[in-house]
Structure 1
Amino acid sequence: MKSLILSLGFGLFSLMAAIAQNTATLSVKIQDIASDDGMLYVGLYNSAGEWLEQTYKGESSTITNGRCEVVFKEVPYGEYAISVYHDENDNGKMDKYLGMIPKESYACSNQAPANFGPPRWDDAKFIINQETNQQIIKL
C-alpha cells in the first residue's frame, strides 16, 4: 500500500513538474505612449478564431513617463498575439468614430499594421517556447 501511495505521489509530482516546465512568464513592455492619462489595456490571445474578440488573459496598467509593463504568468507554450489600447479618458472602453474607427491609440504585437481593417492574426502572432519571453510594443 505504501508503494502505491508513493508511486501515485511521485507520478503527480512528475506531472506537475512537466506542466510547470511548459509554461512561461511573458513580459509586455509598452513604449511611446502619448500621455500618462487614463489606463492601458493589454489583451493576450491564444487563437486566430478569438483574435480581437475574446482575450485568453488580460491586464491593465497605469502609465508612467509614456511607458508601462504588464506581466502574464504561467502562459503555456504556444502561439499568441497581443493587442494594446490606451483608454485615455478612462471610460473602460476603446472609443471609436462611427462605431468602427478607433479614436484612441492602439497597437499589436510585431507592430502588426491595420490596413483597411484590424490587424491580422498572422501579422501579430508570435511563439512562446521558453520559460521567459518579452514583447516590446510601441503605441
Structure 2
Amino acid sequence: MGHRFVSKPLALIASLVCASAWVTTAVAGPINVTVTGARNDDGVVRCGLFSSAAGFPKPENRVGEAVGKVSGGTATCSFKSVPSGTYAVAVFHAEHNEMQLQYGLFGKPKQGVGFSRNPSITFGQPSFNDAAFEVGNAPVSLNIRLNY
C-alpha cells in the first residue's frame, strides 16, 4: 500500500513539471514595435496585433492592442507575453486620439498607416501574408514606417 501512496505524488510532480515546461515554451513575447515617420507629435500611435488573415486588419479581429506616445516623430508599442505563432501588426497615427482609422475620398486613410514588414500600400492595404512575421522563443523587434 505504501508504494501506491508514494507513486501518486511522484506522478503528480512529474506531470506538473512537464506542464510547466510546456507553458514556458509556448509564450515568447514581447513584441516591440518602433513606429517612425509621424508628421507631428500630436496624439498617439495605435497598434493592433493580428494572428490570422481572417478580418485583417479590422480592429474587431485583433488579438492584441497597444498605444505609443509620439515624440520626435517616433512611437513605441509593446505586446507582452505573445504565444509563438504567425502574426501581423497594423498601426495608425491617431493625431486626435481617434479610436479607429478614418477614411477619406476613395477609401484613402486620413491618418498615417503602416504594417509589419513595411509592404507597399500604393494599391491598398496589404494581405496578412505580406505583413506576417514569426514569433518564436525570443523577443521580436519590428520597425514600421508610417505612410500618409
Fold in common (TM above 0.5): yes
Shift of 1:3: 3.6
In structure 2, C-alpha distance between the alignment counterparts of 1:74 and 1:65, rounded to whole Å: 28
SS in 2 for 1:50: coil
In structure 2, C-alpha distance between the alignment counterparts of 1:6 and 1:35, rounded to whole Å: 61
Corresponding residue of 1:14:
18
In structure 1, C-alpha distance between the alignment counterparts of 2:92 and 2:68, rounded to whole Å: 11
Q: Is the 8 A contact 1:22 1:131 kept in 2?
A: no
Which 4+ runs in 1 deviate beyond 6 A? none
Answering whether residue 44 of structure 2 is matched by residue 44 of structure 1, we say no
Q: Deviations over 1:3-56 (max 9, x none)?
A: 423422331232122221232121111122211101110011110113112101
* Percent identity over paired residues: 27
Corresponding residue of 1:67:
74
- Report the residue type matching 2:42 in the other structure: D
Unaligned 5+ segments in structure 2 are none
Q: Deviations over 1:77-118 (max 9, x none)?
A: 111111000011213221211482201000000101224321
SS in 1 for 2:54: helix
In structure 1, C-alpha distance between the alignment counterparts of 2:6 and 2:111, rounded to whole Å: 62
In structure 2, C-alpha distance between the alignment counterparts of 1:117 and 1:42, rounded to whole Å: 18
Answering whether residue 145 of structure 2 is matched by residue 138 of structure 1, we say yes
SS in 2 for 1:41: strand
SS in 2 for 1:49: coil
Corresponding residue of 1:114:
121
How many residues are paired up? Answer: 139
Shift of 1:72: 1.2
Unaligned 5+ segments in structure 1 are none
- Report the residue type matching 1:30 in the other structure: V
In structure 1, C-alpha distance between the alignment counterparts of 2:23 and 2:78, rounded to whole Å: 19
In structure 1, C-alpha distance between the alignment counterparts of 2:140 and 2:86, rounded to whole Å: 12
Corresponding residue of 1:93:
100
Answering whether residue 80 of structure 2 is matched by residue 80 of structure 1, we say no
- Report the residue type matching 2:136 in the other structure: N
What RMSD over aligned residues (CA atoms) do the two structures have, in Å? 1.7
The structure that is strand-richer by fraction is 1
